[in-house]
Amino acid sequence: MSVTSETLAPPAALRPLAWLRKNLFSNWFNALLTIFSLVFLYFALVSIVRWVFFTADWSPVTIAPLLFLIGQYPRDQLWRPALSMLMCVFLIGLSWAIWERYVKAFAIFLGVLLGVLALIPLETPTITLGVRAVFLACPVLIYLGFWIGRRLEVKGKYIVTLWLLASVLITLVLLPGIRSIPGLPAVPTTAWGGLLVTLLLAVGGIVLSFPIGVLLALGRRSSLPVVKLFSILFIEVVRGVPLVTILFMFSIILALFLPAESRIDRLLRALIAMVVFSAAYTAENVRGGLQAIPEGQVEAAKALGLSSFHITFFIVLPQALRLVIPNIVGQFISLFKDTTLVVIVGINDLLGIGNAVLNLRPEFVRLQMEVYLFIAIIFWIFSYFMSYASLELEKALGVGER
Amino acid sequence: MTEESQKREPIIVCNEVHKWYGNFHALRGISLEVYPREVIVIFGPSGSGKSTFIRTLNRLEEHQRGTIIVDGIELSHDVRNVEAVRMETGMVFQQFNLFPHLTVMQNITLAPIWVRKWPKDQAEQVATELLERVGIPEQADKYPGQLSGGQQQRVAIARALAMQPHIMLFDEPTSALDPEMIKEVLDVMVELAKSGMTIVAVTHEMGFARAVADRMIFFDKGEIVEQGTPHQIFHDPQNDRTKLFLSQILHH
Ligand SMILES: Nc1ncnc2c1ncn2[C@@H]1O[C@H](COP(=O)(O)OP(=O)(O)O)[C@@H](O)[C@H]1O
Ligand SMILES: [Mg+2]
């Protein structure tokens, strides 16, 4: 048989007009659908734009933007959340430098958003020049972080360490304050609120529940009966109970049983509840990944003389985790949204603040649409960038796969 | 057995080894001595316990009766003994079992770095030499999924050799390969055999057995039915089962 040596060029990409015809107007039904959709989109857009810019009354949001950001955090201590925010955006910039694929879009979006917020010509008494300066500093710091990260070729592990240090500093020193340090008066968590609390619960919940969940998943497969039993009990009990119930248990019932002086902080209790809840689901997700790793992997590692510790952390877990990353990120996005449930135990997260603002003035009561939409958009932004990063991560991890 | 090998101490001693899977008696009293530098080929019908046996030699399977002593260390419930034996034996599997999330270089250097505690440079240098030896020096930075089956199996051999084992165990290393890739793997194994490595290989590659085996062992129903030099086995098999099996695999 003779083999043709001639190679064919790939078919040329369709030109715009041809593309339109092929994809949107291939037959009369398709054309009808296209036209109908366009008309629908047009009217929807027009009415949305009209509502957003002319009908809607955004005064509940614009009158107290700081409330949405930090709740009742004492206004004479504003520098503390401000400094926290500046540290975070700087680290976001640094992270952008080395995890460009995942962080870049979010970093740029955040920088632009904060920059615009700083310059927006709205007369709101609470947005002082100082606050605007802080907002304006954010894009600068993001870029500075990026620039430094690139310049010094900062390693990932140092950035992770910096993030950990910053979170400890922010959550244990800067925000709550320490009585013995002058200039850092204690601010009870009851005064914290808004996006600050939402992010603390979400980030804290995610970061703390992940390792616990992984350990539980490993514990469930442990050869030690006690460890195994504990892990199974923990996972199954928690998964059988709604988050609301767990929140109530930790917030109210626990408080009843513990002596008053040993009571843990209310916000901390809510955080622990979220961690407990999320850890059980992480464990189940990770377990799925662990089960998918072929026995041959473990055998090959054993045959090389690797210890079970090394086998778990170098061979099995990395492969298992990459399999379940999409699930886990999905679960974290749910957790992020579920933080709104803390409203029911009296914590003023973003949603709680929204409710509070609606009750601020009688004329606000009919402006629920505006307030909830505003909150929804904030949640959407964060969720969107999380799933964006997850998709990128999936793509990146696909590299070594067959 | 050659006269020379009888003078030396055996490096593997199996005495009356039994193994059950539940009620199924998979190994029925295997006794075998392997001498240093010897090349042993184990063959026999599917399900006869060849894999089970070779896997008891590094305790991927536990035996329930009898003793196995490898390189002077008895395989028992003592984890330290098991780990010591595994450091001295390399194993190559039918399905390669490379770590798909690690590059070829990382696959090879992982155990030397974490088990032998070699510095990374040294481990990488040894790995580079081994990749050279198995004929794929240019693949170091690829992932296993980017290699052909034959290349993967050669990486697996290099990975096992990196621990500088005294004994190499092969469990049907070419059975999962496309025909055109079998030779490149067998060539590496032949070179290894000629270099003096002690080898226990489950394989039906009779060309390999003829070329380098010192002894061939015929397994059936969990027992050693017959053993002898390739010449004895091919030209003068004693047992009917051996004859039948050989006629089946040789006259195809
Ligand atoms: N993990 C196991 N559990 C139960 N039976 C097994 C297991 N592994 C192997 N066996 C059985 O033991 C016998 C020997 O298997 P194996 O050693 O794999 O044979 P071979 O490698 O010679 O084909 C087979 O009958 C097989 O079904
Ligand atoms: Mg087998």
At A139-152, the pLDDT tens digits run: 999 999 999 999 99
What is the overall mean pLDDT for chain B? 93
Supply B64's token pair: 């329930």
Distance of alpha carbon B41 from alpha carbon B227, whole angstroms: 10
In this prediction, residue B56 carries a pLDDT of 96
Length of chain B measured in residues: 252
Going from the Cα of B203 to the center of ligand 2, the distance in angstroms, rounded, reads 9
Q: Are B97 and A307 an interchain contact pair (Cβ–Cβ within 8 Å)?
A: no
Ligand 1 binding pocket includes B21 (Cβ within 6 Å)? yes
**pLDDT band, residue A127 (cuts 50/70/90):** confident
Distance of alpha carbon A4 from alpha carbon A19, whole angstroms: 32
Residue B3 has pLDDT above 60, yes or no: no
Q: Whose CA is nearest to atom 25 of ligand 1?
A: B47
- B193, B164 Cβ separation under 8 angstroms: no
Q: Are A299 and B93 an interchain contact pair (Cβ–Cβ within 8 Å)?
A: yes
Query: 3-state class of A278 per DSSP?
Result: helix
Inter-axis angle of helices A317-338 and A368-397, nearest 10: 180
**pLDDT band, residue A400 (cuts 50/70/90):** very low
Q: Which atom of ligand 1 is nearest to the CA of B172?
A: 21
Structure letter (DSSP) for residue A7: -
Distance of alpha carbon A384 from alpha carbon A289, whole angstroms: 25
Going from the Cα of B172 to the center of ligand 1, the distance in angstroms, rounded, reads 14
Residue A402 has pLDDT above 50, yes or no: no
Place of tokens 């621990």: B163
In this prediction, residue A128 carries a pLDDT of 79
Q: CB burial class (10 A; 0-12, 13-18, 19+) of residue A363?
A: exposed
How much is the ipTM here? 0.93
Give Dmax (Cα) for chain A: 91
**Residue of B19, B20, B23, B24 best suited for mutating to test ligand 1, as the one with most atoms within 8 Å of CB:** B24
Backbone phi and psi for residue A101, each to the nearest 5 degrees, phi listed first: -55, -35
Query: 3-state class of A178 per DSSP?
Result: coil
Q: What is the mean pLDDT of residues B222-236?
A: 94
Q: Considering only CA atoms, which of B217, B161, B220 is closest in space to residue B191?
A: B161
**pLDDT band, residue A12 (cuts 50/70/90):** confident
Name residue A141's beta-bridge partners. none
Backbone phi and psi for residue B40, each to the nearest 5 degrees, phi listed first: -110, 130
A320 HSE (CA, 13 A, CB side): 26
**Residue of B18, B51, B204, B220 best suited for mutating to test ligand 1, as the one with most atoms within 8 Å of CB:** B51
Distance of alpha carbon A96 from alpha carbon A146, whole angstroms: 6
Q: How far is CA A287 from CA A207, A215, A297, A310, B237, in A?
A: 18, 10, 16, 18, 52
- Dump the DSSP string for A256-273: HHS-GGGPPPHHHHHHHH
Distance of alpha carbon B162 from alpha carbon A296, whole angstroms: 19
Q: How far is CA B222 from CA A247, B29, B48, in A?
A: 59, 8, 5
Q: CB burial class (10 A; 0-12, 13-18, 19+) of residue A123?
A: exposed
Q: How far is CA A271 from CA A92, A164, B191, in A?
A: 23, 17, 62
Q: What is the mean pLDDT of residues B144-168?
A: 96
What is the H or E stretch that residue B88 is in? helix B79-88
Q: Considering only CA atoms, which of B156, B53, B64, B48 is closest in space to residue B102?
A: B156
What is the H or E stretch that residue A94 is in? helix A79-98
In this prediction, residue A261 carries a pLDDT of 64
Place of tokens 């992932």: B143
**pLDDT band, residue B252 (cuts 50/70/90):** low
Shortest Cα–Cα distance, B78 to chain A (Å): 14
Q: Considering only CA atoms, which of B27, B25, B100, B37 is closest in space to residue B57?
A: B27
In this prediction, residue A52 carries a pLDDT of 86
Q: What is the mean pLDDT of residues B117-129?
A: 96
Structure letter (DSSP) for residue B62: -
Least confident of B3-12, B98-107, B117-126, B225-234: B3-12
User: Which CB contacts under 8 angstroms, 24+ apart, belong to A324-328?
Assistant: A324/A285, A324/A286, A324/A288, A324/A289, A325/A390, A325/A393, A325/A394, A325/A397, A326/A390, A326/A394, A327/A285, A327/A288, A328/A210, A328/A282, A328/A285, A328/A286
Inter-axis angle of helices A100-119 and A368-397, nearest 10: 160
Least confident of A87-91, B1-5, B62-66, B95-99: B1-5
Strand order in the sheet with B24-34: B24-34, B12-21, B65-70, B73-74
Supply B62's token pair: 């536990």
| Amino acid identity at B234 | F
Q: What is the mean pLDDT of residues A78-83?
A: 92
Distance of alpha carbon A257 from alpha carbon A251, whole angstroms: 11
Give the chain B residue whose CA is nearest to the CA of A300. B97
Comparing CB atoms, the residue among A299, A302, A318 nearest residue B101 is A318
Going from the Cα of B50 to the center of ligand 1, the distance in angstroms, rounded, reads 8
- The ligand that comes nearest to the alpha carbon of residue B94 is 2
Q: Measured between CB atoms, does A185 come within 8 Å of chain B?
A: no
Q: Considering only CA atoms, which of B69, B59, B60 is closest in space to residue B15?
A: B69
Supply B37's token pair: 């530098």
Distance of alpha carbon B54 from alpha carbon B49, whole angstroms: 9
Q: What is the mean pLDDT of residues A161-184?
A: 89
**pLDDT band, residue A399 (cuts 50/70/90):** very low
Query: 3-state class of B224 per DSSP?
Result: strand
Please state whether B246 falls in left (phi above 0), alpha (psi between -120 and 50) or beta: alpha
Distance of alpha carbon B35 from alpha carbon A385, whole angstroms: 63
Length of chain A measured in residues: 402
Distance of alpha carbon B230 from alpha carbon A365, whole angstroms: 94
Give the chain A residue whose CA is nearest to the CA of B112. A304
The angle subtended at Cα B236 by Cα B39 and Cα B210, nearest 5°, is 30
Query: 3-state class of B216 per DSSP?
Result: strand
Q: How far is CA A376 from CA A340, A350, B242, in A?
A: 11, 10, 76
Q: Considering only CA atoms, which of A153, A151, A117 is closest in space to residue A137?
A: A117
- B115, B80 Cβ separation under 8 angstroms: no
Supply A255's token pair: 């408080």
What digits encode the pLDDT tens for the residues A287-332? 999 999 999 999 999 999 999 999 999 999 999 998 898 889 989 9
- A316, A259 Cβ separation under 8 angstroms: no
Least confident of A233-242, A323-332, B90-99: A323-332
Distance of alpha carbon B135 from alpha carbon B144, whole angstroms: 15
- B242, B233 Cβ separation under 8 angstroms: yes
Rg from Cα positions in chain B: 18
